[in-house]
């Protein structure tokens, strides 16, 4: 084991040297996957002694119950995350789905070592008032090159939750503008708005879905319904919550049954909209994930989303599709809602994680009419946009959407094969592109499998009640899936 | 003018060359102030043609009403911000008070060009689960070296608003723990918490102050009461809002009168706490800025804050002091509340802006008991902590707290002199360290003065109704104040 570790470290060293000497990394022979570890290398239990020591130190100043292990980000490379104890894990969780091209991708490293990018990292502007000279160019070559079809407005934000918060504000403003029918706000509205009182701060609501996750700040949290750890003890507005379809998999085998369930959920949405309208707390926005992630990798059909959009159109409600976890090409299309063949584009699409910056796209009619309405000091960080520009270039040059589709199919095929072999342990294998999941009979068995997989060098996440959550980079290859599948079978055999 | 521009650009060039060649910048003869522009250089109106062009381009994809001009951050240096049209402005606003050491400080540039820091910038972790190897060391040498006296817990966040949001959550949890008297939450609480319903999501509130500003996400916005642009159309919880003392300046001349006003406000706080208790919406937290910034640079005395803390203690309410704009040494002490001689440390202190990272300090009794309670994917950005470490080193090495105190006194002296000369135009000169402000008779005159000052190369902010807001770097020197004072008198003469 120590010889493969040595080989691995030599490979790391080779990379570091080449990165520092500005080797032409785009040469055809170079790929990250050739330079990364050949496989997992385990030399201690995880967390190892060094992780435990650091955790106990950090615990002096904050609750560390969520810390799994400490990471050597200098050594981590490609699809392999390396902990401080020297263990190399194949990373299929990628910082909760937020690393697009793996660790220390040479093209991103080059962005950082390029002197002409230096000032973007050193000087963080108040972006809404004093934007950098290259900001327009940079968003043109990044965010605007990935705009969801039919949308044309975009704003950056610091994180996913802030993206949701401010997207909701855009929806609230548009809703009230429509209610005013073109008139300016009244003096009473302006004055009461400073004191948390209607009519300036009206009773209007956002409809969300059971098992949804949209973030942990007060507005975003009001849309989140996954776990008590996120919610307990925090005051929350009384906003409507509809059922998200609970479908049977594989979807194509249960079309009729699933369609009935989706119709039931859509009827519930309509009932809630009417009910909250009557309670003088009308719905201004419907917020939904295109695939519920944290809530258990729950899918719904294009027809469901089309129906939802129809309801929104009929009731003049903005439709917000939250692609914080699902966007950035991870499913083979850049945005999952592109699979839905919606009649119109969504009104709002939020992003963060693999996009490196938070933010949201929106349609013209949601554009604020005044300055400072969607605003804060930083409004994101232009240095992240500089990095995103390079990420998107690599995605395009290396055709990663297609590769992700192929690798994802291969992964799903392996999951289905495992499920067929161990039907008492596995069910509901599902996925789209690199997003993949499978269920265990109960949380205990799932957690045991995750722990055992880690002992074999596979790093994975969980979601829902008893679901295994697979969220790899966009540069995952079939050889990585084979390594996963091999270890997965070893674990299933023992369970 | 073009010769001084040339000199200026040569100076810039000199710096760039020296920065790139890793010149030993700590040598005694080197100071930023020697390398920066010798004074403002104006070659076009502001915004100039290039700014206007970029603004019209950006306006295609977002509302740009708040954009003042586009900035050449590569050329900006020290206390001088350089716009894309080549104008050099003495910056006394510093990206809404968020640039601690001026632009392109060589020590921060060195952090970026140091290869051993590279991986911190390239690999953004999910900090709460997979922290970097050097994170404990880095927060020890940064955030924990600046801990407010008596506090010992800290967590990072992405921005100021998120810091407030999560600090409130810490207060809510502690409040409910106390209410439960050590018992675990009931099954009913856990279950209702997923659906925005009490008792899991209880009716508890936060008391804030008129003219307060704490941010623009839903929880932070419920504490903000400055301008309708921040508030109109957004639903908001009905939380209590007390008067912030409206004092006469100079404070020492109106001690008796001011003390009466502060007693009135404290009585209002107690009344509101009792009133909301009776309405079954008890106050769990009082949030306050040590100096109201956005609201108009409003000061209150140490006695007021001591009295407020006494009320909080008596009622088992957490006291949150929001130092997002006031912290990081800008007033001569690292945190403004250190001036207040509080009996106990505050329960929560939030920060962002000049700290480069958001976050908050808190006391032991506010520490969450479970993991994932104060959490999100990124929880800030460790690369900002790496930069902050260097900022704090420079503050210490160059004794910037003392220098800021001296320069700030000099600035206040100049403001008072101007006020004595133009009593019909100026009033209420006030300040603490580098935070300084003065009032005009009305917003129109104030805005005219700011516009004219910009034409003379002085870049300033505004706050409140008719206040000029001065927020320089920590490396401002008396020579800069002299340049400001000279231009200020030129403008006042014309008004």
Hey, what are B389's tokens?
A: 């470490």
Are B394 and B367 contacting, i.e. CB atoms less than 8 angstroms apart?
Answer: no
List of residues 6+ apart from A116 with CB closer than 8 A:
B74
| Residues facing A288 on adjacent strands | A321
B201: closest CA of chain A, how far (Å): 5
Contact A218 B216 (CB under 8 A): no
List of residues 6+ apart from B494 with CB closer than 8 A:
B452
Catalytic residue (choose from B234, B314, B377, B482): B377
Are A211 and A225 contacting, i.e. CB atoms less than 8 angstroms apart?
Answer: yes
Are B419 and B413 contacting, i.e. CB atoms less than 8 angstroms apart?
Answer: no
Q: How far is it between the farthest Cα atoms of chain A?
A: 76
B420: closest CA of chain A, how far (Å): 33
Hey, what are A45's tokens?
A: 């239990």
Backbone angles phi, psi at B80, to 5 degrees: -110, 125
Catalytic residue (choose from B156, B304, B340, B353): B353
CA–CA separation, B98 and B324 (whole Å)? 9
Rounded percentage of chain A residues whose pLDDT exceeds 70: 94
pLDDT of residue A33: 80
Q: Which residues of chain B make contact with A168, given a CB cutoff of 8 A? A: 218
Are A47 and A89 contacting, i.e. CB atoms less than 8 angstroms apart?
Answer: no
Catalytic residue (choose from B172, B175, B213, B351): B213
B83 among known catalytic residues: no
Place of tokens 């809602």: A337
CA–CA separation, B429 and B446 (whole Å)? 14
Contact B57 A136 (CB under 8 A): yes
Report DSSP letters for A177-197, one per residue. HHHHTTPPPPHHHHHHHTTT-
For residue B9, pLDDT over 60 is answered with no
Q: What would the pLDDT profile of B256-277 be if each residue is shown by its tens digit?
A: 999 999 999 999 999 999 999 9
Helix, strand, or coil here: B146? helix
Best to test chain A binding among B54, B232, B243, B383 (most A CBs inside 10 Å): B232
B317: closest CA of chain A, how far (Å): 15
Q: What would the pLDDT profile of B366-391 be if each residue is shown by its tens digit?
A: 999 999 999 999 999 999 999 999 99
**Who among B73, B194, B227 is closest to A123 (CB)?**
B73
**Who among B70, B160, B376 is closest to A159 (CB)?**
B376
Are A20 and B115 contacting, i.e. CB atoms less than 8 angstroms apart?
Answer: yes
Hey, what are B166's tokens?
A: 């999560």
pLDDT-derived band at B30, boundaries 50, 70, 90:
low
pLDDT of residue B2: 44
Hey, what are A75's tokens?
A: 């050594």
For residue B335, pLDDT over 80 is answered with yes
Helix, strand, or coil here: A40? coil
CA–CA separation, B294 and B83 (whole Å)? 25
A-B contacts at Cβ under 8 angstroms: 388
A19: closest CA of chain B, how far (Å): 11
CA–CA separation, A51 and B273 (whole Å)? 45
Neighbours of A360 (CB within 10 A): 30
pLDDT of residue B443: 98
3-state helix, strand, coil in chain A (%, to 5): 45, 15, 40
pLDDT-derived band at B32, boundaries 50, 70, 90:
confident
Mean local confidence (pLDDT), B409-433: 98
pLDDT of residue A23: 39
Place of tokens 């946009």: A385
CA–CA separation, A402 and A394 (whole Å)? 13
For residue B12, pLDDT over 50 is answered with no
Neighbours of B2 (CB within 10 A): 8
pLDDT-derived band at B26, boundaries 50, 70, 90:
very low
CA A125 to chain CA centroid, nearest Å: 26
Using alpha carbons, list the distances in angstroms from residue A488 to A440, A491, B481.
13, 5, 68
Do you know the residue count of chain A? 495
Alpha carbon dihedral B334, B338, B340, B344, in 10-degree steps, equals 150
3-state helix, strand, coil in chain B (%, to 5): 45, 15, 40
Contact A54 B172 (CB under 8 A): no
Q: What is the mean pLDDT of chain B?
A: 94
Are A90 and A39 contacting, i.e. CB atoms less than 8 angstroms apart?
Answer: yes
CA–CA separation, B161 and B145 (whole Å)? 23
Helix, strand, or coil here: B190? helix
What is this structure's pTM? 0.94
Q: What would the pLDDT profile of B466-479 be if each residue is shown by its tens digit?
A: 999 999 999 999 99
Alpha carbon dihedral A55, A56, A62, A66, in 10-degree steps, equals 40
List of residues 6+ apart from A71 with CB closer than 8 A:
A81, A82, A83, A84, B125, B130, B131, B132, B133
pLDDT of residue B225: 98
Beta strand B348-351 with B358-362 is antiparallel
For residue B27, pLDDT over 80 is answered with no
With a cut of 50, list the residues of chain A below it in pLDDT. 1-29
CA–CA separation, A137 and A355 (whole Å)? 17
A13, burial (CB in 10 Å: exposed 0-12, middle 13-18, buried 19+): exposed
Are B475 and B78 contacting, i.e. CB atoms less than 8 angstroms apart?
Answer: yes
DSSP B339: G
Place of tokens 């079309």: A255
Q: Which helix (H) or strand (E) holds B393?
A: helix B382-397
Contact B238 A196 (CB under 8 A): yes
Helix, strand, or coil here: A357? coil
Sign of CA dihedral A350, A355, A358, A363: negative
Helix, strand, or coil here: A436? strand
| Residues facing B292 on adjacent strands | B298
CA–CA separation, A143 and A154 (whole Å)? 8
CA–CA separation, A277 and A344 (whole Å)? 24
CA–CA separation, A434 and A406 (whole Å)? 9
Q: Which residues of chain A make contact with B68, given a CB cutoff of 8 A? A: 129-130
Q: Give me the active site residues of A, please.
A: 213, 322, 353, 377
Contact A129 B169 (CB under 8 A): no
Are A313 and A261 contacting, i.e. CB atoms less than 8 angstroms apart?
Answer: no
Q: Which residues of chain B make contact with A170, given a CB cutoff of 8 A? A: none
Hey, what are B447's tokens?
A: 């805005």
CA–CA separation, B64 and B60 (whole Å)? 9
Q: Which residues of chain B make contact with A459, given a CB cutoff of 8 A? A: none
User: Strand runs (DSSP E) across B306-452, as ranges?
Assistant: 318-322, 348-351, 358-362, 427-432, 435-439
Place of tokens 């001690």: B255
CA–CA separation, B347 and B362 (whole Å)? 6
Contact B202 A235 (CB under 8 A): yes
């Amino acid at each position: 084991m120590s010889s493969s570790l040595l080989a691995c470290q030599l490979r790391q060293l080779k990379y570091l040297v080449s990165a520092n000497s500005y080797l032409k990394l785009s040469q055809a022979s170079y790929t990250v996957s050739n330079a990364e570890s050949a496989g997992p290398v385990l030399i201690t239990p995880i967390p190892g002694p060094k992780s435990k020591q650091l955790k106990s130190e950090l615990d002096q100043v904050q609750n560390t119950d969520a810390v799994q292990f400490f990471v050597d980000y200098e050594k981590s490379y490609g699809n392999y995350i390396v902990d401080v104890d020297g263990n190399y894990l194949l990373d299929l969780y990628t910082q909760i789905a937020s690393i697009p091209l793996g660790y220390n991708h040479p093209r991103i490293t080059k962005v950082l070592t390029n002197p002409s990018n230096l000032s973007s990292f050193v000087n963080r502007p108040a972006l809404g008032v004093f934007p950098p000279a290259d900001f327009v160019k940079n968003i043109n070559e990044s965010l605007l090159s990935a705009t969801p079809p039919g949308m044309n407005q975009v704003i950056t934000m610091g994180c996913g939750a802030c993206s949701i918060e401010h997207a909701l504000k855009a929806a609230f403003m548009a809703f009230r503008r429509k209610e005013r029918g073109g008139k300016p706000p009244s003096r009473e509205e302006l004055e009461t708005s400073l004191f948390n009182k209607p009519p300036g701060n009206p009773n209007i609501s956002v409809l969300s879905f059971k098992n949804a996750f949209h973030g942990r700040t007060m507005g975003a949290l009001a849309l989140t319904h996954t776990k008590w750890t996120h919610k307990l003890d925090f005051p929350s507005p009384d906003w409507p919550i509809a059922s998200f379809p609970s479908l049977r998999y594989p979807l194509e085998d249960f079309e009729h049954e699933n369609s009935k369930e989706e119709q039931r959920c859509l009827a519930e949405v309509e009932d809630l909209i009417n009910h909250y309208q009557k309670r003088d707390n009308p719905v201004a926005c419907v917020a939904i994930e295109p695939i519920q992630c944290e809530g258990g990798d729950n899918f719904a059909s294009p027809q469901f989303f089309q129906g939802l959009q129809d309801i929104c159109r009929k009731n003049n409600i903005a439709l917000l599709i939250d692609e914080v976890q699902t966007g950035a090409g991870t499913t083979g299309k850049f945005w999952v809602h592109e699979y839905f063949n919606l009649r119109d584009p969504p009104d709002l699409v939020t992003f963060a994680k693999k996009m490196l910056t938070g933010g949201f796209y929106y349609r013209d009619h949601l554009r604020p009419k005044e300055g400072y309405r969607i605003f804060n000091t930083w409004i994101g960080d232009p240095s992240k946009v500089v990095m995103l520009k390079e990420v998107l270039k690599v995605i395009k040059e290396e055709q990663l959407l297609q590769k992700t589709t192929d690798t994802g199919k291969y992964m799903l095929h392996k999951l289905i094969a495992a499920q067929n072999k161990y039907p008492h342990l596995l069910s509901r294998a599902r996925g789209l592109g690199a997003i993949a999941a499978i269920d265990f009979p109960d949380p205990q068995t799932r957690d045991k499998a995750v722990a055992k997989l880690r002992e074999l060098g596979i790093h994975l996440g969980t979601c829902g009640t008893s679901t295994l959550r697979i969220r790899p980079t966009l540069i995952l290859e079939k050889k990585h899936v084979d390594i996963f599948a091999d270890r997965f079978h070893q674990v299933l055999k023992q369970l």
